[in-house]
Structure 1
Amino acid sequence: MRRFILLLLATAAGSALAQTAPTSFPEGATPLTAEDLGKALTDKVFHVQPASGAPWRVQYNANGYWFINAGSFADSGKWSVKDSTVCGEGRQLKPACNEIRTKDGTLYLKRESGEVVKFEPR
């Protein structure tokens, strides 16, 4: 019975996190030009905490390569910007482009799942 209760609590906590993941950019967040987005990402390292799963460490280098670490997962590849989106292709991750907006100097990225995550500079 105790195991069942613990499983139920864990499931409820997971459901609560999934329901609270933001799917909209913060009110007042604005798109960036490709030039401004490139400047905001180039030679920077960010910490990202999704609603569920391991936190990410994402690094964008000026030579056009990016790196990501999330728990025991790691990948790298080429990145670029267009309009207010960052595009990347990894060795393991499929090519994708994600919209980024800014508010008060903070970057927010919309994942393919629809979740909006905050990029915290390191």
Structure 2
Amino acid sequence: ETTPYVRFNRTARVGLLVQEEMVRRQIAVRSTMEIDTLEGVIAMVANGLGSSVVPARGVENEFPASIRTIPFGSPPLMRRLGILVPRDNPRAHLSHLLLEALADVTKPSITPDDGRPKLVQKS
């Protein structure tokens, strides 16, 4: 492909995950720039300056309409996030409110186990 690759910073955890997966899948790219922020990478792609691999944030309208999204591989590379709260925190109930608020604004994710959409909550 002749489209330049806009690389997410390789020293950032997400950039490292993408780089490792590209090596594992033997994907070679012509990298023209390395950007430190997700928003910066999205802006570059939206303005026609290249293509990239970035994490999906799971919110509605997360990318401009000018960007076409394609899952990265089969199965798609996934990452799991969690909420950390000190065990004896008297405000721990607020983490449940945060989880509910996040669930309200996120789209269900596809899990590689059975392919069915679901939000994963670990108690």
TM-score range, shorter chain: under 0.3
TM-score by length of 1: 0.21
Higher helix share: 2
